[in-house]
Chains A and B, each alone.
Chain A
Amino acid sequence: MAPSRPFSHRLNQAVEGLMVWVLRFGGWISVLVSLGIVVTLVTESWPFFAQVSFHRLISDNMWTPLFADPQYGIGALLAGTLVTTGVALLVAIPLGTVLAIYLSEFAPTRFREVVKPLLELLSAVPTVVYGYFALLTLTPLLQKIYPDLPQFSMLSAGLIMGIMIVPYVTSLGEDSMRSVPMLLREGAFALGDGKLGVALRVVFPGAFSGLAAAYVLAISRAVGETMIVAIAAGLQPRMTINPLESAATVTAFIVQVSLGDLPHGSIGYQSIFAAGAVLFLMTLGFNLAGHVLRRRFHRAS
């Protein structure tokens, strides 16, 4: 028999063995959550997709699954998501990129250190507050410029959503631009280029995979954003690409149906899971692309 180890040693070994399993279980939880999302979306939307053919999903012009004469044109919801996301990106990508270039290449260090956390507060504002702001402040303002703008408009919601996602672009973009090696900049300066030239011709291409990751994650944010569009863009699905109109997005439809009475297994219940499944597939694509791009940028730097 081997000489017996002191009790404290055996206790330590037992604690070690226990903690490995406790911690491992914590790691599994994240996988379980993903699994929970996928399984719930698939099983609860299954009856819906079994009942509605793919052909109807793409050929119907309206999305009215709760009406007596239902139409299942998911395009009407996708159009709303597409337009609001498009408007948001038209704000966030140029503005976010310019701010990233400015903060990374031009601004003094002290200034950047103060401004960057302040900018990030913009993405910490509760989205319901942004919705309030879009509906009750921005829309009346836009109506002064363009009197025919309806009370609910995709333009107003999209603009505010753009402001919300600016920090995603700026923060990640600035990180990746600053990780471009100083030597490259110095080389370009030595050849006589100016600061902006270096930023656009050397730093921007060098940091592009990081910036692309920032753009893709911003798109994913905009596609999944719910409260701003539910409050300010309207809840009526409409097949239109005119941002001056009101239309429901995929997310706004889920909110609208959830606000009503929603018995388990009803067509309304199934339809929000169907909309959720579509939303999940869209954002999954963007998230994975963003992850791959970001990893490439980490490897390069």
Chain B
Amino acid sequence: MSCDGGFIVLPEHFFQRQKKQAHQRRAIDRWFQRIGLLLTLMTLGILAILLLNLAGNGLMRIDWQFLTSFPSRRAGEAGVLSAWVGTLLLMMVTAGVAIPFGVAAGIYLEEYAPKNNWTDFVEINIANLAGVPSILYGLMALGLFVYQFRFGQSVLSGGLALACLVLPIVIVATRESLRTIPANIREAAFALGATRWQAVWHHLLPYSTGGIATGVILAMSRAIGESAPLITIGALTFIAFLPPAPVLSHPPFLSFEWLFSPFTALPIQMFNWVSRPGEDFQPNAAAAGLILMLITLSMNGAAILLRKRAQRNIQW
């Protein structure tokens, strides 16, 4: 060891080990980088394989006849008419219930609720609800809506079950997008004499529409793909009729009979086709699956874009 101008200069061999170790670390890092990239692409590849597989097996089944035919014993003639109409009606009920109640609950918890044990309890409750398996919502709907309230195994029971299922998603999305709005927006509104509701209605809700809409789209896409709760309440798999139309040509022009009609839905129809022995119905299942995938993936894509835009446009 020599002393050179006040610095202790260590001999070269002293650094050999450190250099070697640093070299090794960099090599390990590079390997992990490659492995991570490979695994990421492989995982995403599964999504692509899933889509290609469905398209390969089902694309040729999707035509006008498939979309406008009822289920049938003969695979070649069967279609998804009652299934997609059922899904559409279910979503009307689900959206009509989950959006107003979910947004109201979100606003209440974020803007109104006092900090106390009850509010804490409600929050834990929502966190737990978000994790309750979907089939338990089906059991609740079976016991409560179908038998207690006597709604029967109907569109109404199914739609309400799905609404309960996605309620936490809407609540959480509403709260998160309200939370990103700075406090001074509220204070400015209050300073001008606005009541709390006026601040919410005129200022906070318009700013949070993007975030809420994102949450609502995600919630609906989740509801469209759910089958377990509908099976539990007794959605039928073989429905060769359509529920009564909601719009009439004569007064009173609106009819709510469809709410109490038996129904089937796209995922239920697909489940029925998948679980049949033999290969005849497999292309039908793939075709129904492809339609479902395209709906849910495009809804999720829309939600991603919407979130991106909402984040980019608003600058506080």
Question: Which A residues fall within an 8 A CB radius of B?
Answer: 12-13, 15-16, 19-20, 22-27, 29-31, 33-34, 36-37, 40-41, 43-44, 95, 98-99, 101-103, 106-107, 115, 117-122, 124-133, 135-137, 163, 166, 192-197, 217, 220-221, 223-227, 230-231, 251, 254-255, 258-259, 262, 264, 272-273, 276, 279-280, 283-284, 286-288, 290-291
- Collect the chain A residues with CB atoms within 8 Å of residue B46's CB: 122, 163
- Collect the chain B residues with CB atoms within 8 Å of residue A128's CB: 225, 227, 267, 270-271, 274, 289, 292
CA distance A117 to B301 in the complex (A): 9
Query: For window 249-307 of chain B, which residues contact chain A by CB distance below 8 Å?
Result: 267, 270-271, 274-275, 282, 285-286, 289, 292-293, 296-297, 300, 304
Contact with A99, one of B36, B139, B200 (Cβ below 8 angstroms)? B36
Q: Flag whether B136 is at the interface (Cβ < 8 A).
A: yes
- Collect the chain B residues with CB atoms within 8 Å of residue A195's CB: 25, 29, 32
Say yes or no: B140 contacts A291, CB within 8 Å.
no
* B interface residue count range (under 10 / 10 to 19 / 20 to 34 / 35 or more): 35 or more
Say yes or no: B195 contacts A13, CB within 8 Å.
yes
Say yes or no: A287 contacts B228, CB within 8 Å.
no
CA distance A224 to B121 in the complex (A): 23
Chain B facing A: main interface SS = helix
Say yes or no: B103 contacts A26, CB within 8 Å.
yes
CA distance A25 to B108 in the complex (A): 9
Closest to A160 in B: B46
25 sampled A-B residue pairs with Cβ under 8 A: A19-B200, A26-B104, A27-B113, A30-B126, A30-B167, A36-B144, A41-B143, A44-B143, A125-B297, A126-B296, A127-B225, A129-B270, A129-B292, A194-B29, A195-B25, A224-B131, A224-B134, A226-B135, A254-B135, A255-B228, A255-B231, A258-B142, A276-B139, A280-B132, A287-B130
| B218-251 interface code vs A (CB 8 A; 1 in, 0 out) | 1001101111100110100000000000000000
Say yes or no: B274 contacts A40, CB within 8 Å.
no
CA distance A125 to B53 in the complex (A): 14
Chain A facing B: main interface SS = helix
Apart from A31-B121, A107-B40, 9 more pairs, CB < 8 Å: A20-B197, A99-B39, A103-B36, A115-B44, A121-B47, A132-B285, A194-B29, A230-B228, A255-B228
Q: Flag whether B90 is at the interface (Cβ < 8 A).
A: no
- Given known pairs A16-B195, A124-B300, A128-B267, the reply for A287 and B225 (CB within 8 Å) is no
CA distance A194 to B32 in the complex (A): 11
Say yes or no: A19 contacts B197, CB within 8 Å.
yes
